[in-house]
Structure 1
Amino acid sequence: MSTSPVQPVHVAAAEQPLSRRRHWNNQVRRHASMTPDRPALRYLGRTVTWKELHQRASALAQTLYLRGVRHGDRVLITMLNRPEYLEALLAITATGAIAVPVNIRMSPAEAVFIATDVGAKAVITDQLMSELAATVATETSGIEFVIGTGGARQGQIDYERVIGDAVGDLPEIDVPDESVAMILYTSGTTGRPKGAMITHANLNAISMAFMDSLSYRRGDVVSVAVPLFHIGGIASVLPQLYFGGTSVIHPLGEFDADRTLETFQNERTTWVFLVPAQWQTLTEAQLERPRELALRILCWGAAPASDALLRSMMTAFPDAETVAVFGQTESTGFACYLDGEHSLSKLGSVGIPTSSVEVKIVDDQMNEVATGEVGEIVFRGPTVMAGYWQRSNASEEVFAGGWLHSGDLGRQDEDGFVYIVDRKKDMIISGGENVYCAEVENAIMDHPAVAEIAVIGRSDERWGEVAVAVAVLEDGMQLGIDDLVNFLRPRLARYKHPKDLVVVDQMPRNASNKIRKNVLRESYGRTGFRPEPHPRVTTGSLL
């Protein structure tokens, strides 16, 4: 890797200006011109104005360009949440290159795999992640340089120095709308991750969907309290970049509900997206010690939420509207939404498709199923990714029949509202009946002793398969299979009841914090498996 200084050179502007493109870089430049002193970002009490954001991103883009980063090159970002993350995203894409956010929870081997898979040319990192960046650079032959903020390691280029030393202007680079802006790797729960190619057109389309579907208003203050390396974090900040509002960036670390609520209060946050686990702790903290908040929209997604949690959110934040979103990285965040008007009447639904997305429920032959019947959810529209990076077979499979296959099983009611039933591969067939794990999990989560739950299938000589519940219990609580079945009896058909209860201290999770059901199946889904005695289990198996 070369770290020698590069002398700035003047490059003539391209003949075709990019001003007609509605890219986030163009929008930031317009905000810097029209409202230069308005806050673009807030972070730990510090303000970054639109003028400062544009100047700093442009300076970083110039450094990347002078070091040879060009249209289509890939640049990794290994950072925690901070303003420099957005500066890096803007700078990389201003050159026409592709940003590749890396999940900070990944092991070095996983990060090296991604860097090798995309053929990364450079890395932008921060102090806490600089060791990971150094390992990636050492073990990946194509990386030419690393830029580090917050104190660069030896061999890395100092981020603030290149910002301060920038001279001249970046040439106007016209980046077509269908150019790839980001490659986001989906961790999944099995197999190697795949890179979803998100285009500038996708980003533009999802920002418009916020205005159209998610009750976003110009002037909203949006808190970004989920990781920026996830599509949920990027999607949260997108409307602000496009429409000129203020984003409050929350630092990553162990989620602290009280500190988060204090930030909401101090910054007058009006709109926030969080995952159900975060809403759970936040709701409990707000009910215990209510704060005067400006929250208008409570958005949730990325994992199922129990009916009990949704009711608690409405109680804890009575003046706010609860909005659910359903989608995935491949759909640039979301394809369906459930607004506050229907949050009670359609409780349990993920809503209707956004105005720009088509959704169907189909069988294995791509035939649309009847209203109310279960099938796979497929969709298409301008927010759908371009495909998987260098995975033509996987791309063809996920786009079979011209629609993006979500891998989720669902149904649609007579009003067009979509309900998630389960992941397609998580369905259990017991005695010829379909058992959808998500439905069973949702019912079990209403039990006061249960903190976390995962339901898996186990082969059974009599029934073909039976359900097994793997649970983390609340502190000081006990639960047995007899008690659980008695609790479920009025809630679920008998064939849906788990036949075993396994209590664990914690769930195995992947880098995206999703429960690794494949690990649970390997541990507890074997034929003939019986749970070991546990001090907090009152009874054993029903088998």
Structure 2
Amino acid sequence: MYTSGTTGRPKGAMLSYQNLLGQTLTLARAFRLVRNDEVVAVTSPMFHIAAIGALVPDLIFGYPTVITPTGAFDPEQFLDLLEAEGVTNAFLVPTQWQAVCASPSIPDRRLRLRTISWGAAPASTAILRAMATAFPDAANVCTFGQTEMSPVTTVLDGSDALEKLGSIGKPVPLVDVRIVDDEMNDVPRGAVGEIVYRGPQTMLGYWDNPQETAKAFHGGWFHSGDLVRADEDGFLYVVDRLKDMIISGGENVYCGEVEAAIADHPNVHEVAVVGSPHPKWGETPVAVVVPRDPAAPPSPADLIEFASTRLASYKKPTKVVIIDALPRNASGKVLKAPLREQVLEGSEG
């Protein structure tokens, strides 16, 4: 299965039968796949690990499975499908759940959803709250991981979703996890480090790419490239991608933290933060914003002031770029490379 390629060229992760059996056991536990009347919707493109990771357990357990069309996503058509097929378990990326939850038709529909899940991209607090409001009787499960891990490595149970809003949960039983610094030392509880993995769900390596394989497995653990922290209860929170982290004046600035602060602005629909060269600080954050109302976008000064009330001064963006839509790959992940190019070129969309 090929990786998403959001930080570079996609790589082919070689997955074994053992890897996918581990994924099956992980999802059975996460989604409590023990009833005979489950109907599962597979919504991701078949070239994405989220689709294969969901489909294999369904085949093993013999559950009716609805493979949805990919391409342009229509929330009303998706709700029609859930109702018509009696779907009990559905996974979407956060932007799709956002569109579904905005539908005024939900209260009048006869839906059987028992589990709603999301992953493949971060979900804002606003989206998670909308999901809880739209589907109060469904367990809201966050699944986190990556192609190289078959893919799920951590799960946030629905019972913890509101108390631990924004968390990706705890490691699944079949995956060993450490949070380490650059020297492979475990970081203290609460400190930020890279999450590394090993266990039966770990890929065999990258296809025809021994150099990247050796790099990914240095120190005997698979290096995810994700920066996380653990709270006092052991719940994990993604802070940033290692390759996306901004170093401004010697201080680490995590894009996810800045994005979360700006996303709370009432006139912001979506936001992505990238680093931009700065003559004094080396680089500083730049916020690329999609306005909620394109005809009345928020002013850059207003957004910077809004962010400054929620962030330390060195973390606030020094520039805001307004665009019509964030660039995404076919699985819904934001592509930051073209955003960086746009910012460097000084374009305003």
**How far did residue 286 of structure 1 move?**
5.0
| Equivalent position of 2:32 in the other structure | 215
**How far did residue 408 of structure 1 move?**
0.6
Are positions 1:318 and 2:136 aligned together?
Answer: yes
**How far did residue 454 of structure 1 move?**
1.1
SS in 1 for 2:52: helix
SS in 2 for 1:254: coil
Are positions 1:199 and 2:37 aligned together?
Answer: no
Residue 500 of structure 1 aligns with an amino acid whose one-letter code is: K
**How far did residue 462 of structure 1 move?**
2.3
Deviations 1:15-67 (A, max 9, x none): xxxxxxxxxxxxxxxxxxxxxxxxxxxxxxxxxxxxxxxxxxxxxxxxxxxxx
Q: Using the alignment, how far apart are the partners of 2:291 and 2:248 within structure 1? A: 26
Determine which of 246, 254, 259 is the counterpart of 1:441. 259
Segments of 4+ moved more than 6 angstroms: none
**How far did residue 307 of structure 1 move?**
0.6
**Is the contact between residue 322 and residue 343 of structure 1 (CA under 8 Å) also seen in structure 2?**
yes
**How far did residue 290 of structure 1 move?**
4.2
* Aligned pairs for 1:81-480 within 5 A: 184-219=1-36, 220-285=38-103, 290-475=108-293, 476-480=295-299
Q: Using the alignment, how far apart are the partners of 2:106 and 2:261 within structure 1? A: 25
| Equivalent position of 1:44 in the other structure | none
SS in 2 for 1:285: coil
Are positions 1:506 and 2:325 aligned together?
Answer: yes
Q: Using the alignment, how far apart are the partners of 2:105 and 2:265 within structure 1? A: 19
**Is the contact between residue 375 and residue 410 of structure 1 (CA under 8 Å) also seen in structure 2?**
yes
Residue 238 of structure 1 aligns with an amino acid whose one-letter code is: V
| Equivalent position of 1:494 in the other structure | 313
Residue 320 of structure 2 aligns with an amino acid whose one-letter code is: L
Deviations 1:363-391 (A, max 9, x none): 01111100000010111111111111111
Deviations 1:192-235 (A, max 9, x none): 32110111111111101112233323321101122122111111
Question: Alpha carbons of 1:288 and 1:473: their partners in 2 closer, same or farther (altered >3 Å)?
Answer: farther
Deviations 1:79-106 (A, max 9, x none): xxxxxxxxxxxxxxxxxxxxxxxxxxxx
Residue 524 of structure 1 aligns with an amino acid whose one-letter code is: V
SS in 2 for 1:425: coil
SS in 1 for 2:232: coil
Question: Alpha carbons of 1:197 and 1:456: their partners in 2 closer, same or farther (altered >3 Å)?
Answer: same
**How far did residue 288 of structure 1 move?**
6.5
**How far did residue 501 of structure 1 move?**
0.7
Residue 311 of structure 1 aligns with an amino acid whose one-letter code is: R
Are positions 1:523 and 2:342 aligned together?
Answer: yes
Q: Using the alignment, how far apart are the partners of 1:326 and 1:423 within structure 2? A: 13
| Equivalent position of 1:482 in the other structure | 301
**Is the contact between residue 121 and residue 332 of structure 2 (CA under 8 Å) also seen in structure 1?**
no
SS in 1 for 2:301: helix
Give the CA RMSD over aligned residues: 1.7
Q: Using the alignment, how far apart are the partners of 1:393 and 1:229 within structure 2? A: 24
Q: Using the alignment, how far apart are the partners of 1:309 and 1:187 within structure 2? A: 23
Q: Using the alignment, how far apart are the partners of 1:462 and 1:425 within structure 2? A: 21
**How far did residue 294 of structure 1 move?**
0.8
Q: Using the alignment, how far apart are the partners of 1:502 and 1:237 within structure 2? A: 40
SS in 1 for 2:72: coil
Q: Using the alignment, how far apart are the partners of 2:110 and 2:306 within structure 1? A: 37
**Is the contact between residue 258 and residue 285 of structure 1 (CA under 8 Å) also seen in structure 2?**
yes
**Is the contact between residue 468 and residue 525 of structure 1 (CA under 8 Å) also seen in structure 2?**
no
**How far did residue 239 of structure 1 move?**
1.6
Deviations 1:415-464 (A, max 9, x none): 21111000001111223321100111122222222222110111212222
**Is the contact between residue 331 and residue 383 of structure 1 (CA under 8 Å) also seen in structure 2?**
yes
Q: Using the alignment, how far apart are the partners of 2:172 and 2:108 within structure 1? A: 34
Q: Using the alignment, how far apart are the partners of 1:473 and 1:376 within structure 2? A: 32
**How far did residue 297 of structure 1 move?**
0.6
**Is the contact between residue 45 and residue 331 of structure 2 (CA under 8 Å) also seen in structure 1?**
no
Deviations 1:289-309 (A, max 9, x none): 542211111110000000111
Q: Using the alignment, how far apart are the partners of 1:436 and 1:290 within structure 2? A: 41
SS in 1 for 2:321: strand
- Structure 2 unaligned segments of length 5 or more: list them: none
Q: Using the alignment, how far apart are the partners of 1:299 and 1:344 within structure 2? A: 14
Q: Using the alignment, how far apart are the partners of 1:382 and 1:283 within structure 2? A: 36
**Is the contact between residue 7 and residue 243 of structure 2 (CA under 8 Å) also seen in structure 1?**
no
**Is the contact between residue 481 and residue 499 of structure 1 (CA under 8 Å) also seen in structure 2?**
no
| Equivalent position of 1:173 in the other structure | none
Residue 70 of structure 2 aligns with an amino acid whose one-letter code is: L
**How far did residue 482 of structure 1 move?**
1.8
Aligned-pair identity in percent equals 51
SS in 2 for 1:314: helix
SS in 2 for 1:335: strand
**How far did residue 190 of structure 1 move?**
4.6
Q: Using the alignment, how far apart are the partners of 2:5 and 2:84 within structure 1? A: 36
SS in 2 for 1:434: strand
TM-score (norm 2): 0.94
Question: Alpha carbons of 1:190 and 1:354: their partners in 2 closer, same or farther (altered >3 Å)?
Answer: closer
| Equivalent position of 1:148 in the other structure | none
TM-score (norm 1): 0.62
* Count of aligned pairs: 347
Which one has a bigger Cα radius of gyration?
A: 1
**Is the contact between residue 93 and residue 332 of structure 2 (CA under 8 Å) also seen in structure 1?**
no
